[in-house]
Amino acid sequence: MRDSIVFWLIKLNLYCFFILGAFLIPYVIMLAAMGLPLFFMEFAFGQFASVGPVSVWSISPLFKGVGYAMTTVIWLVQVYYNVIVAQAFLYLFVSFNSRPPWSSCGNWWNNPVTCLDQTSKILIQLTGPVQKPKNYSTNTTVPLNETTSASSEYYNNYILRLSSGIDEIGTPVWHLTLCLLLAWILCCLVLIKGVKFLGKASYFTAIFPYIMLTILLIRVALLPGSLEGVKYYVTPDFSKLKDATAWTDAATQLFFSLGCCNGGLITLSSYNKFKNNCCR
| pLDDT tens per residue, range 48-70 | 988 889 998 888 889 989 999 99
When pLDDT is cut at 50, 70 and 90, the band that residue 272 belongs to is: confident
Could you tell me if residue 40 is inside a domain? yes
When pLDDT is cut at 50, 70 and 90, the band that residue 237 belongs to is: confident
Residue 194 has pLDDT above 70, yes or no: yes
When pLDDT is cut at 50, 70 and 90, the band that residue 124 belongs to is: very low
Q: What is the dihedral of CA 108, 110, 114, 120, to 10 degrees?
A: -110
CA dist 126 and 147 (Å) reads 9
CA dist 43 and 272 (Å) reads 10
280, 60 contact by CB (below 8 A): no
3-state SS, residue 108 = coil
CA dist 188 and 11 (Å) reads 27
Three-class HEC string of 266-280: HHHHCCCCCCCCCCC
In the DSSP assignment, the letter for residue 97 is S
Mean of pLDDT values over 229-256:
78
3-state SS, residue 51 = coil
pLDDT digits (tens, 9 = 90+) for 135-148: 444 455 555 556 78
Q: Quick one: CA dihedral 141, 143, 146, 148, positive or negative?
A: positive
Could you tell me if residue 183 is inside a domain? yes
Residue 87 has pLDDT above 80, yes or no: yes
Could you tell me if residue 11 is inside a domain? yes
Q: Domain range spanning residue 75?
A: 3-271
When pLDDT is cut at 50, 70 and 90, the band that residue 17 belongs to is: low
What is the pLDDT, as a whole number, of residue 221? Answer: 85
Could you tell me if residue 279 is inside a domain? no
Q: Tell which wins on pLDDT, 71 or 280.
A: 71
Q: What is the dihedral of CA 108, 116, 98, 220, to 10 degrees?
A: -150
Residue 239 annotated as binding site: no
Distance of CA 144 to the CA centre of its chain: 27
Could you tell me if residue 185 is inside a domain? yes
pLDDT digits (tens, 9 = 90+) for 169-190: 778 889 999 999 999 998 888 8
Q: Tell which wins on pLDDT, 8 or 231.
A: 231
Q: What percent of the chain has pLDDT over 70?
A: 81
Residue 236 has pLDDT above 80, yes or no: no
What is the pLDDT, as a whole number, of residue 258? Answer: 83
When pLDDT is cut at 50, 70 and 90, the band that residue 131 belongs to is: very low
Mean of pLDDT values over 202-214:
82
Q: What percent of the chain has pLDDT over 90?
A: 8
Mean of pLDDT values over 79-98:
89
- Transcribe 176-242 into DSSP letters: HHHHHHHHHHHHHHHHTT-HHHHHHHHHHHHHHHHHHHHHHHHHHHTSTTHHHHHHHHHS--GGGGG
Could you tell me if residue 178 is inside a domain? yes
Q: What is the domain count for the chain? A: 1
Could you tell me if residue 278 is inside a domain? no
What is the pLDDT, as a whole number, of residue 16? Answer: 58
3-state SS, residue 45 = helix
Closest among 181, 278, 197, 198 to 1, alpha carbons compared: 198
pTM of the predicted structure, to 2 decimals = 0.72
265, 43 contact by CB (below 8 A): yes
Residue 10 has pLDDT above 70, yes or no: no
Number of other residues whose CB lies within 10 A of the CB of residue 22: 18
Could you tell me if residue 276 is inside a domain? no
